[in-house]
Structure 1
Amino acid sequence: MESAAAQPEATIERGNVRFTVLSPRLIRLEWSADGRFRDGRTQVVVHRAVDVPPFRLVEDATTLHIDTGTLHLRHVKGTGRFDAANLEIAVRRHGGGDIVWRPGDVQLANLGGTYRTLDRYDGDTWQDGTRLPLEEGLIARDGWHVVDDTDSFGLDDEGWVLERPDGERQDLYFFGYGLDYRAGLADFASIAGPQPMPPRFVFGYWWSRYWNYSDDELRTLGARFEKERIPLDVLVLDMDWHTTPGLSLRPGLEQYDVFGQQSGWTGYTFNRSLFPDPAAFMRWAHGENLRITLNLHPASGVLPHEAKYDAMAQALSWDTSTRAPIPFEGTSQPYMRALFDTILHPLERDGVDFWWLDWQQWPESRSHPGLSNTWWLNHVFFTEMQRDDDRRGLIYHRWGGLGNHRYPIGFSGDSVISWTSLAYQPHFTAMASNVLYGYWSHDIGGHTFHKHIPRAERHLEPELYARWMQLGVFSPVLRTHSAKEASLHKEPWHFGPPWGDAIFAAIRLRYQLAPYIYGAARQAYDTGTSIVRPMYYHWPELDEAYLHPSQYLFGDDILVAPVTEPVGEDGTVVAPVWLPPGVWYSRDGAEAFEGGGMLERAYALEEIPIFVRPGSVVPLYPEGLRDLASVPDTIILQVFPGHEGSTTLYDDDGTSQGYQRGEFARTRVRSRRGDRAHRVHVDAMDGDYRGRPRTRSYIVELLDAGIPERIEVNGEALPYSASPAPRTWLFDTSSLSIRVDLGTVQLDTAHDVVARFAPEHALPKGLLHRMRRAEFAVRYLKQVWGDISALPEDVNLAGQADRVLAYAVEHGGDDGRAQRFTEAVQAFESRFAGLAASVAATPINDAFKRTFADLVGR
């Protein structure tokens, strides 16, 4: 390992104090009674040898000044411990009005961090009425934050725990970022380590249920996923995969660990009544491109019933004559080495891909009081996986405190099944990015019911689950899980229409978004800005960015405001959204909205309030993926309206640590749109890695585009086709988009796509939204009105506008296509304007008429 010490030219040491300038916004402040300072790794800080920023040092016999341009530190020499009398730091702000900090100052507006678990919480309220005790985050509206690393344990060159240094000390890191929150997080990542990229499969769908599954049941489950064409990447096996003698023996014969706790949770030996041949089961899973993770509760040590008890005892020279349990101690290097070598690594060779660490016992190490067992186990298991070979580290665990961002991913525990829990999780997830913990995984759908709900009345509302799955699409990890209740099913096929349709659509959308999500994961590694981040990262000067915590940015370009309330009788729910200044587009490009205020729209079950920056280029995979084990040959570049925009496609091998060594590739895509032409330029791929493709198929999708007069690729005109085909273009009237299929192209060369338009054939603003409102309203009318034979023709035609427009595009040849389409659009607009009046003239119930008119008008 490289040294954790700072560059010599960054440090200023004067007797019992040492200052280290780590960035223009970050200074380390040390005071030591004996004049000794710590340069090694700690739990929180693992790297200080950053590039030294320019700074100015001025001092005389009594006072020392350090000026970085952003920070101005003033210290009175020889005055002992840092306090308000001998140290202050001013943070300069644009426009004047410096922020001044002194030791002992209390932060007034910290923006929150995260917490170990949501076990038994209904939203942020526990079953006894107490509120979630959130930890502080690294950023605050105060403009500064101090990380106190004085009491952190150290880490040696092998990553093993070291005792805290003796003597009186202070070891503080002052972050002065003003409102540049992302810069503050980047500074923390520079010294505490980046957020590692998980393997690509992590971003697929995880199936998890607390259930005593058998080998045969899991194979049947996998077959049903395949039959239903639902993609799946991870199978999670909860506690019942292993034997638990402490719960199975007759009263009086229970087995206890050395601490006197009944050992019903700890286990390392497969239950052969459920898994007769575990290795064969895991070979099947891998053959289906499924990853396997097993639940571990290691607190009871290794008990004598375990298959590997004797091997573990021999490795530790443990006396087996009494058949006593081998006690757990996570900070014992011999114990953990023996546990890995004799028990866990053999299971990995049989097929376990990573471990679910479900530590719920005593909070601190018994041999190192003050060291969180959660923090330490996360560190040990993750670093062991990286040490084993070139695989990316991956565990599945709870939050253990600052520095644990280096060990993804987290699971938030057993939250209560309720709309309140659903409403709180977007806020909880986004806040965690304030401590770089960017990979929370929630029990989608909630875990358990309120304890006061009678068992006979416990059921999962289909609409609640569908909305939770929609949140899961725009979460770091999409994982369903639930308590061991026979009635608590979350299999997608368990739900009929319309909820099942919404659940299936959510899973498909997640897989389509995988390249966008994976690129955001790389950005999190590079910058410290997580995939899910609060609005105030981008609009820190606006009060409104702090007042709507349930909405967030998902990557750079997508704003999400999950629906967290049930629909009304008309099948919609009004969801207010704060749109930041500027123009925003709905996810399908159907509507443009001027930001800078609140937007209230009605959303049906299948609709999610998602908004995209103008000009954004969102990379997608085509529908039909089975898993993320390999990258599809085709990428769809979905280009939103807007004058200009860009994105960078990110690629690597998806599994190794090579991405940290420069083994990856990027492809820049730029979009520029005017009145007469829309150009999309795809650069040559830059970079290399193991398995890098040399060719790829691109489909460029221009949203809300109107009918073009000509499509060119690299200067060559492409023909129109009514069905998808390489080297052609088509117009999709269901989305009002142009789809240009470039076919298979070389990635080492650039490609230029140009759509040319006649201004007189431009689309009316909001046309697609009106088409969908009409379709939804007519569908509603057919459901509630028994006699629909008297529906006016205009109503029937308006309800299927995309089909009517499609016939206008497809009939005849190229000549006049744009004109026929424009005339069909004008006819729809006329029908739409008269829809409410047409229905009002029918003998339908007045309440139905009002609802229909309301739906059309939204």
Structure 2
Amino acid sequence: MRKTMFVLGGLVCATWLSAQDYQKTAYGIKAAAGGVDVEVQFFTPSVVRVVKSPQGEHFEKKSLAVVASPGEVGVKVGIKDGAIVMDTKVLQVNLDTSTGAFSYRTADGKLLLAEKPVEKSFVPFDDAGDATYNVYQAFKLDADEAIYGLGQLQNGKMSQRGVRKNMIQGNVEDVSPFFQSTKGYGLYWDNYSPTLFTDNEEETSFRSDVGDCMDYYFMYGGDADGVVAQVRYLTGEVPMFPLWTYGYWQSKERYKSQEETVGVVRKYRELGVPLDGIIQDWQYWGHNYLWNAMDFQNPQFNNPQKMIDDVHAMNAHMAISIWSSFGPATKPYRELAAKGLLYDFKTWPAAGTESWPPDPEYPSGVRVYDAYSPEARDIYWKYLNEGIFKLGMDAWWMDSTEPDHLDFKPEDMDTKTYMGSFRKVRNAYPLMSVGGVYDHQRAVSSDKRVFILTRSGFLGQQRYGANVWSGDVGSSWETLRNQVPAGLNFSLCGMPHWNNDIGGFFAGQYNKSWNDGTAPKNPLYQELYVRWLQFGTFTPMMRSHGADTPREIYQFGQKGEPVYDAIEKMIRLRYALLPYIYSTSWDVSHRQSTFMRALVMDFPKDKKVWDMNDEYMFGKAFLVAPVLHAQYTQEKVVKVNEESGWNRDNAGKTDGKVQADFQQPKSTEVYLPCGTVWYDFWTNEKIKGGQEVTRETTLDLIPLYIKAGSIVPFGPDVQYATEKPWDNLVLRVYPGADGSFVLYEDEFDNYNYEKGAYTEIPMSWDDSSRRLTLGTRKGEYKGMLQSRGFTVVLPDGRQKSVSYNGKKVSVKF
């Protein structure tokens, strides 16, 4: 039997002799086993791809997510006990020739993962006229093994054991068929169709609606950071974001004129509250028939150039809402429709009028564009570039990148795309739509780093300058609690930039009515908002946004009042931490690290943290324990169907006048992982790990702890990220263990760092000698500080100042 395969490694022809035979290739082997054809490709000694197909079938597969190529890694192949054994210096991969099942072991023989032999891995399926298959593969996990990932789910779980999930992109859930294990391996199921993930006592499996072949990647990293590094190697590294993106962002649904938008920035500057980003939401284009025109047809935005210039004149930056769909009166719609590059299924908005509920007598005619088509992506950018980017817009808010799919009908999935049926590639839509904007902007400019805020994500999207937010979530304590494990699991998929609507999108029951927007005066909502903002301070993007009610700080009172002061305190803390955050960003981009770190990443031996969903590390120094339950008021339940979009009927009545004394201290329980000593960030109290402690809280304080051995730089008091140079940073050193930190700096917003235009200042703390050493500065860039001062501070209050000119210097205590 002869079979031709088209794979990432190129065209390979092979002649099969019998089920027990295999052919060694440049990257692994090809064999027939268990009634299927199999190809194994090694990318590195610790990363392997497995492709299975019905025996004798032809297929062509090029990954949308994977950008790496297989390599010659010196695989040793042999036969032992009826299995084909493939050894590298890291992995042992065994193929049982009788069942076709694979197993994966470490080089010293420790079992990591094994396939479970299954019947009917391939079930014939007619995919909109194309003969293909439903594909299925099961694995057997250890009973006490924890797994993480699957994208961003709203199930509130940290470990995803026991989960059964139909994985399809949605408004508030972003799916990626990937998980990693506490045993130090990861598995990526490379399929983009709706996929049922099942984990129970019998199996852990993926079952996808469409697959010409079964295609997955097994990687061994040794620990969670190692797995993240492997998945980024496969699917793309993370570019640097501009420094200003890590400042504070203000938004709402929606600023209705350019005067209002600019006025928000002006008000922050007048109050002296730091701000770096303002976002203009939808309908600057006009009515719904002009949906996403990428043009300012709304008379309230009659001078967009002035709007952007005014924002820039106040040293702020601006993002603007763009969508994956177009109204029938727009120029992009007409060009795309003429080329057959628009889908016919129903999307948001449902009606051309703005009345609620949508009037079916006046359908909007809005249609989603075919982001899988290179030509369609070119057209999309043409209008975006001409209509908005050339005005000086700084960033993109790409909404509905899943995309919105209203009144779902099974036949909608038969919609033809450039890459086959929508069913076949459905879950990769955000990857393609976001990637199209990133690639086009990079092609025309290296002076401004691409920054995309987007509502949906798929594995590999981290390479496109994208920060994914968790969608139109409801304002409730339960939803807030769910955001923590949602962000952590998303990060454990290798996608480090994640955020959420601070305060929740739908204020719902916290609002007295839709029209008067009084939630900021409602103590029930005030408490929720402050706690949400404190959590948002320790995410990769600190962004306040929502409907039903305004979210600007001045809507919550004035300086001297507890709610206002609590909000301002956290915004100022965020800005003080910018040197730490930006250096962590470099660690993410350059060393495959992660911002939001599930505790299992840093404390894998402490099994108490394996399934902990309410604490995490932010960078490698801060343990964050957000207050996730109401302490001053009663929790309100908000019933929202986020998938349906703008359900304004959920705005209800509050139960009378609510009183709350926000001055009273409260308390909460915090677990401090074992294996280290911790310092209370606020008091510098030293506490041994491996225990639960009771921490007093106030409205303006959440529990924060610093790991012993940490070196944390603090920046100046500023109104925006680049207002003052980092010429006299405070370095807080926390003794109790040896530690290190690298202070990273560059030009803050261009791609010159890719050409080596940046500096690193290595810092190390030797605990036995009580000495902090500032190493020789590495690198250079235009405008860099040639000399500077550091003030080194210990928890006991002792401090020393040191001058630094790029040469090694040390400070001893």
Fold conserved between structures, TM > 0.5: yes
Query: What secondary structure, in the 3-state scheme, does the structure 2 residue paired with 1:240 have?
Result: coil
CA contact (8 A) 1:5 1:47 kept: no
What is the Cα deviation at residue 114 of structure 1? 5.3
CA contact (8 A) 2:670 2:693 kept: yes
Q: 1:494 aligns to what?
A: 557
Between 1:625-634 and 1:409-418, the stretch displaced more is: 625-634
What is the Cα deviation at residue 701 of structure 1? 2.0
Q: What percentage of residue pairs aligned between the two structures are identical? A: 23
CA contact (8 A) 1:554 1:560 kept: yes
CA contact (8 A) 1:302 1:327 kept: no
Matches within 5 A, 1:292-441: 292-301=318-327, 303-304=329-330, 328-359=369-400, 360-362=403-405, 366-367=416-417, 368=420, 369=422, 370-372=424-426, 373-390=429-446, 391-407=448-464, 408-441=466-499
Distance, in Å, in 2 between the alignment partners of 1:540 and 1:196 is 28
What is the Cα deviation at residue 682 of structure 1? 1.0
What is the Cα deviation at residue 63 of structure 1? 4.7
Alignment of 1:468 onto 2:532: yes
Query: What secondary structure, in the 3-state scheme, does the structure 2 residue paired with 1:618 have?
Result: strand
Matches within 5 A, 1:794-833: none
Distance, in Å, in 1 between the alignment partners of 2:73 and 2:391 is 50
Q: 1:22 aligns to what?
A: 43
Alignment of 1:741 onto 2:801: yes
Q: 1:832 aligns to what?
A: none
Alignment of 1:206 onto 2:262: no
1:506-552 Cα shifts (integer Å, max 9, x gaps): 01110111111112222222343320011111222332012321100
CA contact (8 A) 2:153 2:174 kept: no
Residue 138 of structure 2, aligned match among 105, 116, 119: 105
The gaps in structure 2 that reach 5 residues or longer are 1-6, 11-23, 118-136, 161-170, 195-207, 343-364, 407-412, 633-660
Distance, in Å, in 1 between the alignment partners of 2:239 and 2:183 is 29
RMSD: 4.0
| Code of the aligned partner of 1:682 | L
Residue 91 of structure 1, aligned match among 102, 105, 109: 105
Query: What secondary structure, in the 3-state scheme, does the structure 2 residue paired with 1:556 have?
Result: coil
1:79-134 Cα shifts (integer Å, max 9, x gaps): 7xxxxx1333242498966654445434555634355687999xx9xxxxx99797
Q: 2:545 aligns to what?
A: 481
Structure 2 length normalisation: TM-score?
0.73
What is the Cα deviation at residue 451 of structure 1? 5.8
CA contact (8 A) 1:71 1:89 kept: no
What is the Cα deviation at residue 604 of structure 1? 2.0
What is the Cα deviation at residue 594 of structure 1? 0.8
Structure scoring higher RCO (CA < 8 A, sep ≥ 6) equals: 2
Distance, in Å, in 2 between the alignment partners of 1:138 and 1:422 is 23
Distance, in Å, in 2 between the alignment partners of 1:131 and 1:333 is 27
Distance, in Å, in 2 between the alignment partners of 1:522 and 1:237 is 29
Alignment of 1:683 onto 2:775: yes
Residue 217 of structure 2, aligned match among 173, 183, 206: 173
Structure 1 228/95 Cα, relative in aligned 2: closer, same or farther at 3 Å? farther
CA contact (8 A) 1:200 1:629 kept: no
Q: 2:238 aligns to what?
A: 195
Structure 1 490/639 Cα, relative in aligned 2: closer, same or farther at 3 Å? same
1:469-503 Cα shifts (integer Å, max 9, x gaps): 211111111000010446x6544763552221111
| Code of the aligned partner of 1:612 | I
Distance, in Å, in 2 between the alignment partners of 1:475 and 1:60 is 50
Structure 1 337/668 Cα, relative in aligned 2: closer, same or farther at 3 Å? same
Distance, in Å, in 2 between the alignment partners of 1:152 and 1:67 is 32
Aligned residues: 667
1:554-592 Cα shifts (integer Å, max 9, x gaps): 111211111123445772222211111121111146211
Structure 1 151/476 Cα, relative in aligned 2: closer, same or farther at 3 Å? closer
Query: What secondary structure, in the 3-state scheme, does the structure 2 residue paired with 1:646 have?
Result: strand
Residue 701 of structure 1, aligned match among 778, 785, 793: 793
Distance, in Å, in 2 between the alignment partners of 1:637 and 1:655 is 25
Q: 2:669 aligns to what?
A: 576
Q: 1:277 aligns to what?
A: 303
What is the Cα deviation at residue 453 of structure 1? 6.7
Structure 1 644/492 Cα, relative in aligned 2: closer, same or farther at 3 Å? farther
Query: What secondary structure, in the 3-state scheme, does the structure 1 residue paired with 2:180 have?
Result: coil
Matches within 5 A, 1:465-544: 465-485=529-549, 490-491=553-554, 494-495=557-558, 497-544=561-608
Matches within 5 A, 1:544-559: 544-559=608-623
Distance, in Å, in 2 between the alignment partners of 1:348 and 1:294 is 10
1:220-277 Cα shifts (integer Å, max 9, x gaps): 3222211221111111000132211x4xxxxxxxxxxxxxxxx374332214532231
Structure 1 62/593 Cα, relative in aligned 2: closer, same or farther at 3 Å? closer
Alignment of 1:668 onto 2:762: yes
CA contact (8 A) 1:652 1:659 kept: yes
Distance, in Å, in 2 between the alignment partners of 1:752 and 1:231 is 34
Structure 1 606/38 Cα, relative in aligned 2: closer, same or farther at 3 Å? same
Structure 1 length normalisation: TM-score?
0.70
Query: What secondary structure, in the 3-state scheme, does the structure 2 residue paired with 1:279 have?
Result: helix
CA contact (8 A) 1:74 1:89 kept: yes
CA contact (8 A) 1:113 1:137 kept: yes
Alignment of 1:222 onto 2:265: yes
CA contact (8 A) 1:303 1:325 kept: no
Query: What secondary structure, in the 3-state scheme, does the structure 1 residue paired with 2:251 have?
Result: strand
1:781-817 Cα shifts (integer Å, max 9, x gaps): xxxxxxxxxxxxxxxxxxxxxxxxxxxxxxxxxxxxx
CA contact (8 A) 1:267 1:297 kept: no
Structure 1 224/739 Cα, relative in aligned 2: closer, same or farther at 3 Å? farther
Distance, in Å, in 2 between the alignment partners of 1:403 and 1:687 is 30
Distance, in Å, in 1 between the alignment partners of 2:685 and 2:616 is 20
| Code of the aligned partner of 2:619 | G
Q: 1:598 aligns to what?
A: 692
Query: What secondary structure, in the 3-state scheme, does the structure 2 residue paired with 1:417 have?
Result: coil
Distance, in Å, in 1 between the alignment partners of 2:425 and 2:100 is 32
1:275-306 Cα shifts (integer Å, max 9, x gaps): 231112211212222221111234135625x6
CA contact (8 A) 1:120 1:416 kept: no
Structure 1 576/213 Cα, relative in aligned 2: closer, same or farther at 3 Å? same
| Code of the aligned partner of 1:448 | F
CA contact (8 A) 1:551 1:561 kept: yes
Distance, in Å, in 2 between the alignment partners of 1:167 and 1:397 is 28
What is the Cα deviation at residue 689 of structure 1? 3.3
Q: 2:704 aligns to what?
A: 610
Structure with more of its chain in helix, by fraction: 1
Between 1:215-224 and 1:572-581, the stretch displaced more is: 215-224
Q: 2:84 aligns to what?
A: 64
Structure with more of its chain in strand, by fraction: 2
Structure 1 87/173 Cα, relative in aligned 2: closer, same or farther at 3 Å? same
| Code of the aligned partner of 1:174 | F
The gaps in structure 1 that reach 5 residues or longer are 80-84, 125-129, 154-163, 247-262, 319-323, 705-736, 756-858
Matches within 5 A, 1:780-799: none
Q: 1:834 aligns to what?
A: none
CA contact (8 A) 1:111 1:137 kept: no
Structure 1 223/167 Cα, relative in aligned 2: closer, same or farther at 3 Å? closer
Structure 1 500/333 Cα, relative in aligned 2: closer, same or farther at 3 Å? same
Query: What secondary structure, in the 3-state scheme, does the structure 2 residue paired with 1:172 have?
Result: strand
| Code of the aligned partner of 2:68 | H
